[in-house]
């Protein structure tokens, strides 16, 4: 049975350019079994039509607090009681401010005050507006009130700026919407997850790193949280917002990640090494910037091997259920299974990063998952969907082991 089957979702749309994606969002939520009713703010009508949303939802669109016909039956209260979830996407800086300050001057803001259903917002705005102190204070207020913040994502924006502020893609919003109805199978479990790249300093301004975006590790953290786990997320430098509710530990180098991992793994039920850790670091980091000279066409660096984080966790006397990742460009299954045995792992997830539509910097992924005696295939999908499936597999294998 689909997780959203017969769930009642109010999709509230505010006035941002990302509103053009919402008919597809309605359609995809309904594909997953949800019953969807739409609320439009006055400014949202400039970006998307009521008629198109009515066609895909099957309901008349609600757009006015003072609609005489609807209010004969106290329509806004009826809608507030009907909802199992209110999803605001896109959520502008304006509606975020209204929610934070408890305003009720239109249908949507009144609806949010009148409901006992969970509320989730998908922020969408210019990157400078997102980083503005007022917006960040309002977001902090909403988090304290248990309103879920879905995103924002990073990338190029309609105005030409690049940075945080994009509304999450439709697939990801649908996947994240399931968190409110996901069975809490991991209650009282502590999961430690590493994510992102590491940076190995050459001098005060240069470093060695890789192309990891951290998206897979962050998606796993969100999926584990959705299933009820306590999550510690050890993250290298990324341009992502940590999942709400995760304990975020920021690190830069492999040595820092190693130290935090071993310390937290001793308290963990599950440890997932999803980070793309640099295999080597510079033996001696220059104290000053290395200058380039006309007579110096070559530069040599003496590299030393970094500690193997996942192998060291797996070697602990009372080790957690230990999961590794294998990012390969060839012989994916063979190399992953060899790594599983060599590093004494309980499970390994392998992906082919030679494929341009999955892996590093992509929003999608596909995994081959191996234990000592089983194999699972997770087909190409959004990283949130892949993460949810992988968390389910890990939970089942961990329970079986116990």
Q: Which residues are catalytic, by number?
A: 159
Closest CA to 167 of 120, 132, 222, 123: 123
Is residue 335 within 8 A of residue 348, CB to CB? The reply is: no
DSSP state of 329: S
Closest CA to 40 of 69, 79, 2: 79
Instruction: Give the helix/strand (H/E) hosting 398.
Output: helix 383-401
Tokens of 324: 């590794």
Closest CA to 171 of 24, 46, 15: 24
The span from the CA of 390 to the CA of 384, in Å, is 10
**CB under 8 Å to 147, separation ≥6 — which residues?**
99, 118, 119, 120, 121
For every residue of 182-244, DSSP letters joined together read S--TTTT-EEEEEESB--EESSSS-EE-----SHHHHHHHHHHHHTT-EEEEEE-S-S-PPPT
Closest CA to 382 of 366, 360, 401, 398: 366
Closest CA to 33 of 1, 5, 56: 5
The span from the CA of 46 to the CA of 65, in Å, is 18
The total number of residues shown for the chain amounts to 402
- Torsion from C-alpha of 105, 149, 60, 50, nearest 10 degrees: 80
The span from the CA of 390 to the CA of 32, in Å, is 19
**Backbone phi and psi for residue 115, each to the nearest 5 degrees, phi listed first:** -100, 150
CB atoms within 10 A of CB 116: 7
Our measurement of the distance from residue 196's CA atom to the centroid of its chain's CA atoms, rounded to an integer in Å, reads 12
Closest CA to 123 of 82, 163, 181: 163
**Backbone phi and psi for residue 298, each to the nearest 5 degrees, phi listed first:** -125, 150
């Amino acid at each position: 049975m689909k997780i959203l089957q017969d769930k009642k979702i109010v999709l509230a749309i505010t006035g941002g350019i990302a509103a053009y994606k919402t008919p597809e969002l309605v359609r995809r939520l309904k594909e997953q079994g949800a019953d969807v009713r739409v609320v439009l703010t006055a400014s949202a009508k400039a970006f998307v039509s009521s008629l198109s949303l009515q066609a895909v939802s099957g309901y008349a669109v609600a757009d006015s607090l003072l609609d005489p016909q609807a209010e004969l039956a106290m329509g806004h209260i009826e809608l507030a009681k009907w909802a199992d979830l209110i999803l605001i996407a896109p959520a502008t800086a304006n509606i975020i401010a209204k929610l934070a300050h408890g305003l009720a001057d239109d249908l949507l803001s009144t609806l949010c005050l009148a409901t006992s259903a969970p509320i989730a917002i998908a922020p969408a705005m210019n990157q400078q507006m997102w980083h503005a102190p007022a917006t960040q204070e309002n977001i902090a207020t909403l988090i304290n009130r248990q309103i879920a913040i879905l995103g924002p994502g990073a990338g190029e924006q309609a105005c030409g700026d690049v940075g945080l502020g994009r509304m999450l893609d439709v697939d990801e919003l649908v996947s994240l919407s399931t968190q409110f109805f996901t069975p809490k199978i991991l209650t009282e479990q502590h999961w430690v997850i590493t994510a992102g790249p590491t940076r190995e300093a050459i001098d005060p301004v240069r470093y060695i790193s890789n192309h990891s975006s951290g998206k897979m590790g962050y998606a796993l953290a969100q999926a584990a949280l959705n299933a009820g786990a306590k999550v510690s997320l050890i993250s290298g430098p990324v341009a992502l917002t940590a999942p709400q509710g995760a304990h975020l530990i920021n690190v830069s180098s492999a040595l820092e990640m190693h130290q935090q991992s071993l310390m937290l793994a001793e308290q963990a039920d599950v440890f997932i090494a999803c980070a793309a850790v640099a295999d080597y670091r510079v033996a001696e980091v220059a104290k000053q910037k290395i200058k380039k000279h006309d007579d110096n066409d070559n530069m040599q660096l003496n590299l030393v091997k970094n500690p193997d984080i996942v192998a060291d966790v797996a070697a602990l006397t009372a080790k957690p259920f230990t999961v590794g990742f294998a990012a390969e460009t060839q012989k994916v299954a063979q190399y992953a299974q060899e790594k599983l045995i060599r590093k004494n792992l309980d499970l390994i997830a392998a992906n082919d990063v030679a494929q341009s539509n999955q892996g590093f910097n992509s929003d999608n992924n596909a995994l081959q998952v191996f234990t000592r005696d089983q194999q699972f295939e997770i087909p190409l999908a959004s990283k949130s969907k892949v993460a949810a499936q992988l968390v389910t597999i890990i939970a089942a294998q961990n329970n079986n082991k116990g």
